[in-house]
Every structure is written in C-alpha cells, then in structure tokens.
Amino acid sequence: MYSDGYREQGLRQQLVSEIIKKGIKDKRVIEAIGKIPRHLFMDSAFVNFAYIDKAFPIGSGQTISQPYTVAFQTELLKINKGDKVLEIGTGSGYQTAVLLELGAKVFTIERQRNLFLKAQRFLPQLGYHPQFFFGDGYLGKPTYGPYDKILITAGAPEIPPLLVRQLKPGGFLVVPLGEMSQTMVRLIKSDQGKDIIEDHGAFSFVPLLKGTAYDK
C-alpha cells in the first residue's frame, strides 16, 4: 500500500549521515531515523523533500519537525525499553514512531482534531500502536501516569506545572522553552523537591497552544 523503495532507503541513509555530522551519537536513535519512512508522514506536495533535514507543513498550522531536531530531543530523553513516555503534540506521528522504535510505551496527545484522526488511522498501518488522545496537551494524561519521560514538541512559554506533576522522580521532561524563539530544556525531576533544569541550545518551534481545535 505504501511505497518505500531503494531510492527512499538510500536517501534516508544520506539523512542519517547528515544528523551524525551534526552531533547525534545515540546509535538507537540513529537506527530509528534510518528505518522510519519519513516521506509517508508528509503531505504529497512535500514528499520529494522528505529526506532534506528541514521542517515542513503538515496542515492545521503545524509542521513535521526537522529530523535533526527529532533526533536531538529523543537523544535528550535517554529512552529505555519499556519507558512510559507522554508525548505532547502528535502532529504527523513521525516523532511518535521514533519513540516506539526505541521500545517506549507511548501516550500521545494532539489538540488538532484533523491531525489526531489522521495519525490515529495512519500509524497502525505502519505497525505503530501508541495510545492516542485528543485533548489539551497542557493538561497531560494523569490517569495513565506517572511517566518516565515527557516530550513536548511545540514551543511552550513555561514548563507546564501539571506535566511536571505527572513525571516520575528521576524522570526527564524535554521542552523547547520560549515564545518567539526557544531554548531546548531538559528538566530532571528531583525527589528532593528541587528539579534540575538544563539548557541545550536554541531551536525554533511552532507554539504550544491550549485547548483543542476543530479545523473546518
């Protein structure tokens, strides 16, 4: 049903070489990027550019993130097989697929109804089976927590306190922090009451919005 031939596989390996040159070191993350057919997650107008290391529109004002950025955020999470991971912003589902390839148990929330429905239909066709939720990412999913790792895939003006509460002690929360431009931040939750917050450089993301949205 979906085409993933030698051409696409070759282009993926070129992409892998590029993200390695940019500093990605985690072999499991690299293998996931090399395996997942990114072109299948993109709108038809952009399929020929799928293995360029750039973000592209996917509709509803959202984007599929640059592969390097996906790899960078995933590397910061230090995923262990079996980790419970809460993903805020399913989007195209590409980042979701990367997390699943690493053996995480993924709970993913999308606020845009159209994107939620598309990912919910599409990912299982590729063999990926996260828990899908339509809702406000700022609220998380406390019913299924606490989580080992939390990943926010849009720029947040602050670290959402409700999400920090859903993180296990010793767990990691990775978020692009800021409104106009973002700094990638990793929060390590302390069981002593003072969390560790690390700065991991400048990035650019679409904003993390509250509530839910129904496209016409």
What's the confidence (pLDDT) of residue 1? 52
45 secondary structure, DSSP code: G
92 in catalytic set: no
Pairwise CA distance, residues 96 & 119, whole Å: 10
pLDDT at 46: 82
Low-confidence ranges of the chain (pLDDT < 70): 1-2, 215-216
Q: What is the pLDDT of residue 215?
A: 66
Domains and CATH numbers, the chain: 54-203 (3.40.50.150)
d(CA 41, CA 46): 10
Would you say the C-alpha torsion 212, 56, 86, 115 has a positive or negative sign?
Answer: positive
What's the rounded Cα separation, in Å, for the pair 154 and 128? 22
pLDDT value at residue 124: 98
Identity of the amino acid at 207: P
Q: What local confidence, expressed as pLDDT, does residue 59 receive?
A: 83
For the chain, helix (H) and strand (E) counts, in that order, are 6, 9
The two beta strands, 105-110 and 131-134, are parallel
Output the six-digit token pair for 95.
Answer: 């980042």
pLDDT at position 45 is 80
- Do 59 and 114 meet the contact criterion of CB atoms below 8 Å apart? yes
Radius of gyration, alpha carbons of the chain: 16
At residue 192, the pLDDT reads 83
The strand order across the sheet containing 167-177 reads 131-134, 105-110, 84-88, 147-152, 167-177, 182-188, 196-203
Dihedrals φ, ψ of 177, to 5°? -105, 125
The two three-digit tokens of residue 32, written as one number: 């996931």
17, 44, 65, 181: which one is catalytic?
65
pTM score > 0.85 for this model?
A: yes
